[in-house]
Amino acid sequence: MTEAINPLAIANPKMSARDVKVFYGAKQAIKGVSIDVDMDHVTAFIGPSGCGKSTFLRTLNRMNDTVASARVEGMITLDGEDIYSPSMDVVQLRARVGMVFQKPNPFPKSIYENIAYGPRIHGLAHAKADLDVVVEKSLRRAGLWEEVKDRLHDSGTALSGGQQQRLCIGRAIAVEPEVILMDEPCSALDPIATAKIEELIHELRGRYAIVIVTHNMQQAARVSQRTAFFHLGDLVEYGVTSDIFTNPTQERTKDYITGRYG
Amino acid sequence: MAEHTIKAFDEDIDRLRGLIAEMGGRAEAAIESAMTALQRQDLVLAAQVVADDKRIDAIEAEVEKLVIQVIALRAPMANDLRDVIAALKIVGVVERIGDYAKNIAKRVPLIMVNQRTLEPVSLLPSMGQVASEMVHDALNAFAARDADLAVAVVERDTVVDDFYNSVFRTLVTYMVENPKTISECAHLLFIAKNIERIGDHATNVAEMVYYAATGQTLPDRDRGGAAAEE
């Protein structure tokens, strides 16, 4: 039996969105999306280009604030706290809700500094010894420690694409986030580097709430336990990943995942 | 159903469905020919059924190959995935149905009774008819993705089971009265059992079709089934 997830009825949600609408100027990109995500499941957002999945992902740590024409309506909470409330410290929010982007974007600094920068400016560690611990722990969690431990002071940009992306994940982890948002984290990587990131996502699950936007449906199937299908700004269907890929309830979901879309 | 963006995917699926339609048609014909051969004591026709089974086996192998290729190259999802997996399972079952028909045909020469008809033979054609119609409808249901027709096939299984129980009793009575025909009647009993198994297999195909078409498994039903040989 297919078990449809009620997007509003997840136990212990880490983040909740209620009737979220996003406008770019006059154009509405998100048409009232409500969804909960939790710590125990990796949530994948899938959908065709322009469906709003990345736009919606960016509302979860207020990345859209940087887009002048963007306007967000509705309510998004982190542990029940409204992240769009005027009292919310956006810098602090983005430490709690980290983000990994499509193209690896390490700082043009050493591997060590890439990791140490966040904890230092957020005041999580100051002494060299403390930072050393954070750097090693973060790189280990990012599955990169063994590959870089002997060259921590080489430039982060000298690493391979896959290593750079794991460095960026390590950088996000270093500030002890609660949620990690990933926007197409593997689209610039080869299959082996992709597999390493996917394995890493699997290992990080449960420690952080993870939301991943991907164009690669096989990737959504491999890494997530819950899948949300977006189309033209609507959340069309949200369900257990294995159900979505074997027996979706909505015609639009079915057409998209079977390759019959448009 | 809308076409795939990738046309070659549709061509693969069409070829798969075409092969299964051919296989089903051949299995159905094999049952009918085996029963006709039995009735008419037609050894040539019986031999033909045995020979034709090779083509059914060959189609099974071809479908298996194509299904693996489709999974590897097209990564089918949702209803496509259910269709392709159903196809793989269905050919395995239809191959067995073909084997049962072949087994019936192989028994035809062993039931030749000199210048005398064996009365119970007359009971079997209508039983074979029901079973072969079930095979026909189960495969049609697959071709049309028709869940209702699949349910109708499943419901008809009891008819074949009832036939079997009735044939069984008749044959036992006949053997008691005509001990010289026990050898022939034993073969008839196996033939009846084969037809009963064909009905069960057609039912299994119908259940697979139902799942492929709806994504839901058929609710359990009360399987009266064939009574154990009393």
Determine, for residues A245 and B75 on separate chains, whether the beta-carbon distance falls below 8 Å: no
Chain A contact present for B18, CB below 8 A: no
Q: Most B CBs within 10 Å: which of A222, A236, A250, A258, as the mutation test of the B interface?
A: A258
- The reply to whether residue A245 touches residue B77, judged by beta carbons under 8 angstroms, is yes
| Residue of B1, B3, B78 with shortest CB distance to A248 | B78
- Give the position of tokens 């991907």: A214
Over its length of 230 residues, how does chain B's per-residue pLDDT go in tens digits?
688 888 889 999 999 999 999 999 999 999 999 999 999 999 999 999 999 999 999 999 999 999 999 999 999 999 999 999 999 999 999 999 999 999 999 999 998 765 467 777 888 999 999 999 999 999 999 999 999 999 999 999 999 999 999 999 999 999 999 998 899 999 999 999 999 999 999 999 999 999 999 999 998 765 544 444 43
- CA–CA distance, A86 with B80 (Å, rounded to integer): 49
Is A246 within 8 Å of B78 (Cβ atoms)?
Answer: yes
Residues in chain A: 262
CA-nearest residue of chain A to B9?
Answer: A259
Report residue B66: phi and psi, to 5°.
-65, -40
**Domain A38-63+87-257 sits in CATH 3.40.50.150:** no
Beta-sheet pairing, A42-46 with A226-231 = parallel
B17 touches chain A (CB under 8 A): no
| Cα B16 from Cα B14, distance rounded (Å) | 5
Rounded-to-10 torsion of CA B81, B87, B92, B93: 110
Rounded Cα gap, residues A112 and A114, in angstroms: 5
A→B contacts (Cβ < 8 Å), by residue, are 1-2, 217-218, 245-248, 253-255, 257-262
